[in-house]
Structure 1
Amino acid sequence: MHPFDIKTAGHEPAAGRKVLILLHGRGGSAEDIISLAGYFDVPDFAILAPQAANNTWYPYSFLAPPAQNEPWLSSALQVVNQVVLQLHAKDIPAEDIYFAGFSQGACLTLEFVARNAARYGGVVAFTGGLVGDQLYPENYAGDFGGTPIFIGTSNPDPHVPLERVQASAQLLESMKAAVMVKVYPGMGHTISQDEVDEANRLVFVDA
């Protein structure tokens, strides 16, 4: 059914069912990230986690000029788009689709939703920002219609500068997303229990 490897958990995707798409980080796997769903308040969801080739969505830092990460970046965005299109084909609307990712997967999550803004169920980015050596607003279109987006990050973080997180949040807000950024001093490149709690409170609260 899928032209790419995808791990699933929870329920089967179907009309009336909420769906969570999880995107793993560099060096991670769909199997790793799907275990994260166990910490979210999503007992009735279908859970989908696509697997990146060679465990990476694109080869260079997300802060590299986008052309350096091609064709992998476009391919990664296409994978996410295919998952969303398959859900739409099952009569699952954008407002029943949720996204969450960590690190490289968080960057890919934010990049995808910003390029395809709609009223989604919600978005969780654990340590990530929009992709590129700078922000390219011309790549982004649509209206989030109040979609809740939670971004948690460490300060400092070895891979994701706080400035990029904040600039990404401002851009997403300009597209009518309800963004909350929470900065954790010295947390390191990981996911904390507090971030999970915030995601449940802000994003999965009405799910």
Structure 2
Amino acid sequence: MLNIFHEGQSLEKATKVAILIHGRGASVSSILSLQEHLNLEDFALVLPQAENNSWYPYSFMAPDHMNEPSLSNAIQEIDHIVQDLLKQGFSSDRIYLIGFSQGACLSLEYAGRNPKKYGGVIAFTGGLIGEQLDIPKYKGDFEGAPIFIGSSEEDMHVPLSRIEDSKEVLKSMGAKVNMLIFPDRYHTIRQEEVDWVNLNILTSKKKMMV
């Protein structure tokens, strides 16, 4: 089982819950830094910590068997969190998935395999996982759930073609997918992404980062 940390509002008092999923080689403290920039003041924050700081060992586009069983275990762990939140009375539209890099890929992959009317899925540089997209495994209906993907045109880890293909798969399942793609090569989260997500998905009145 993962180490799971809790920040923000208590689950008893929160109106919404965000599952924050860190990137490769990172930790809950790195992804928690988004709390200073995103409008999460009304949220309970659930932060799973990957064993050895990575959710799976190789590229998200490596041959599928190379990332097993780590990838399947990671998907299962995220599902345990989601199912527990549902049992505690949070409807799916009050559950948000937020990830960066490897955590963004895992957020999209989990949601793609388990579509619901989430409050939002926010992927800062990520795409669906697999050497080739296995389209038949993505079944179900997002019922209009908003999904955001932000990245660069030439990210060193996540090809734009995979992001675009992921968008089409998720749209075909009823998600409202929006992308912000930037004309650079930086593997980072930009102010424009933060502003868009705050305005269009998180929507609270918290002061924007300056």
Q: Which of 60, 75, 92 pairs up with 2:58?
A: 60
TM-score (norm: length of structure 2): 0.94
- 1:102–1:128 CA contact under 8 A, matched in 2: yes
Q: Which of 179, 184, 187 pairs up with 1:186?
A: 184
Identify unmatched segments of 5+ residues in structure 1: none
1:33 alignment counterpart: 31
**CA distance change for structure 1 residues 152 and 146 in 2, over 3 Å: closer, same or farther?**
same
Say which SS state the counterpart of residue 186 (structure 1) adopts. Answer: coil
Which whole-Å CA distance do the structure 2 matches of 1:95 and 1:88 have between them? 10
The C-alpha deviation readout for 1:115-145, integer Å capped at 9, x for no partner, is: 0001000011000000011111122121011
- 1:37–1:47 CA contact under 8 A, matched in 2: no
Which whole-Å CA distance do the structure 1 matches of 2:88 and 2:7 have between them? 17
The C-alpha deviation readout for 1:56-78, integer Å capped at 9, x for no partner, is: 00001000122210000001101
2:95 alignment counterpart: 97
1:106 alignment counterpart: 104
The two structures, once aligned, show a CA RMSD in angstroms of 1.4
- 2:14–2:44 CA contact under 8 A, matched in 1: no
- Name the aligned partner's letter for residue 62 of structure 2: A
2:160 alignment counterpart: 162
2:75 alignment counterpart: 77
Say which SS state the counterpart of residue 98 (structure 1) adopts. Answer: strand
Q: Which of 127, 138, 141 pairs up with 1:140?
A: 138
Say which SS state the counterpart of residue 135 (structure 1) adopts. Answer: coil
1:196 correspondence with 2:184: no
Q: Which moved more, 1:196-205 or 1:124-133?
A: 196-205
- Name the aligned partner's letter for residue 43 of structure 2: F
The C-alpha deviation readout for 1:128-177, integer Å capped at 9, x for no partner, is: 00001111112212101111111000111000000000000010000000
The percent identity for this pair of structures is 48
Say which SS state the counterpart of residue 26 (structure 2) adopts. Answer: coil
TM-score (norm: length of structure 1): 0.95
1:1-40 equivalent positions in 2, closer than 5 A: 3-14=1-12, 17-40=15-38
- 1:7–1:31 CA contact under 8 A, matched in 2: no
Q: Which of 35, 42, 45 pairs up with 1:44?
A: 42
Say which SS state the counterpart of residue 203 (structure 1) adopts. Answer: helix
Aligned residues: 205
Runs of 4+ in 1 over 3 A off after TM superposition: none
Say which SS state the counterpart of residue 27 (structure 1) adopts. Answer: coil
Q: CA deviation at 1:15?
A: 7.7
- 1:64–1:132 CA contact under 8 A, matched in 2: yes
Q: CA deviation at 1:183?
A: 0.5
Q: CA deviation at 1:38?
A: 2.2
